[in-house]
Amino acid sequence: MRAMTLDRSSLLITVAPTGAETSKADCPALPTTLEELVETAQRCEAAGAGMVHLHIRDAAHRPTLDQGRLRESVVALKEATDLVVQLSTGGSVHDPLEDRLKVLDAQPDSCSLTMGTTNFGDDVFLNPWPFVCDLYQLSQERRVVPEFELFDLGHVTALHRLLDTFGLPYGGKVHVDLVMGVPGGMPGTADALVAAVAALPAEVTSWSATGIGRSTLPVALASLSKGGHLRVGMEDVLTLAKGVPVVHNEQLVTRAVELGRMAQRTPMTGAQTRELLGLTG
Ligand code: KMH
Ligand code: ZN
């Protein structure tokens, strides 16, 4: 008997507005400054997002894990919105592991926590087991709720091992995000999603999915069909359709709300998201 409690009427929409892979020069609509991030978060919250997954950029719009900028961004987004603020601990493929651990010093509500190393296009996204264990234990100590990022079926197995070894996260809930369609990870297909969901540990209380690039719609539709939540945003996809660029993250949130409406799901507010993630204590 699975302990997973699926509320089939509400829908968490997480917006991942920036990421670390796209350059501002290639995509001027990408929000990279603090002002752009705040404006984006406010519009996405008004459109129906409950959580924001943040990557920060420096003054030259390059990915950074600068402590000052991370802290300032967490404070600004918490002041300007009621969204759950999640910082990426994945950063960019070039960030050292020790800097990625220090992300928790910025005191976000939540942090991403990727469950294993994966090929990432031509690069390698490094997440060795000892690092995963250190980051998880640090999140427990610092009272930060992790979102487990699963890029592959093997990451599902690693999540079983992590929970068996170290117990439940801070807050007692286990929230997972399937990141699908990364070149090197599991494909962004309904079949892969069904396989990953079937293998999730019984402790999982909620899960979302995102499909990179053109897998975004198949993954979103499969996730809704299986009762999952959605992550959308320009971190994962830059077009609405072939040749139609996204000009604001709000468009992707609005589309997710519309897909959810068709599936008879209502977007969760920040407060409802806090409850879902065990952040109300
Ligand atoms: N930018 C990728 C290398 C995360 O945010 O935790 C990692 C990533 C996952 O985006
Ligand atoms: Zn990310």
Task: Please state at what angle helix 153-166 crosses helix 129-142, rounded to 10 degrees.
Answer: 50
Ligand nearest to the CA of 119: 1
Phi, psi (deg, nearest 5) at residue 173: -105, 155
Q: What's the confidence (pLDDT) of residue 7?
A: 65
Q: Token pair for residue 179?
A: 């990141």
pLDDT at 2 over 90: no
> What residue owns the CA closest to ligand 1's atom 9?
90
Q: Looking at residues 120-131, what average pLDDT do you find?
A: 98
- Out of 22, 57, 92, 100, mutate this one to test ligand 1's pocket (max ligand atoms within 8 Å of CB): namely 92
Token pair recorded at residue 275: 């409850």
Q: What is the band of 281 on the pLDDT scale with cuts at 50, 70, 90?
A: confident
Residues 6+ apart with CB under 8 A from 240: 246, 251, 252, 255
Pairing label, strands 110-114, 56-57: unpaired
Q: Rounded distance, CA 75 to CA 141, Å?
A: 21
Is 20 near ligand 1, meaning CB less than 6 Å away? yes
Q: Kindly state which CATH superfamily the domain 10-277 is placed in.
A: Aldolase class I (3.20.20.70)
pLDDT at 1: 34
Apex CA 268: angle with CA 265 and CA 271, to 5°?
A: 160
Q: What is the mean pLDDT of the chain?
A: 97
Question: Nearest C-alpha to atom 4 of ligand 1 is from which residue?
Answer: 90
Q: What is the pLDDT of residues 174-186, one digit of tens each?
A: 999 999 999 999 9
Beta-bridge partners for 106: none
Query: Distance from the CA of 264 to the center of ligand 1, in angstroms?
Result: 31
Ligand 1 lined by 14 (C-beta under 6 Å): no
- CA dist 228 and 190 (Å) reads 12
125 Cβ inside 6 Å of ligand 1: yes
CA-nearest residue for atom 6, ligand 1, is 90
Helix (H) or strand (E) holding 86: strand 84-87
- Give me the mean pLDDT over the 194-200 stretch: 98
* Atom nearest to 20 CA in ligand 1: 1
- Cβ of 114 below 6 Å from ligand 1: yes
Helix axes 216-225, 249-262, angle to 10 degrees: 40
| Chain centre to alpha carbon of residue 46 | 19
Ligand 2 (ion): which residues have CB within 5 A?
Answer: 88
Q: Ligand 1 atom 10: the closest Cα is on which residue?
A: 90
Q: Tell me: the pLDDT tens digits for 71-125?
A: 999 999 999 999 999 999 999 999 999 999 999 999 999 999 999 999 999 999 9
Any idea what the Cα angle at residue 14 is, between residues 9 and 20, rounded to 5°? 160
Nearest ligand 1 atom to alpha carbon 90: 6
**Measured between alpha carbons, how far apart are the two ends of the chain, in Å?**
27
3-state helix, strand, coil in the chain (%, to 5): 40, 20, 40
Q: Is the CB of 127 under 6 A from ligand 1?
A: no
* The pair of three-digit structure tokens given for residue 108, joined into one six-digit string: 């976000």
Whether the per-residue pLDDT at 4 is higher than 50: the answer is no
- Name the CA dihedral angle for 268, 271, 277, 278, rounded to a multiple of 10 degrees: -150
14 alpha carbon, closest ligand: 2
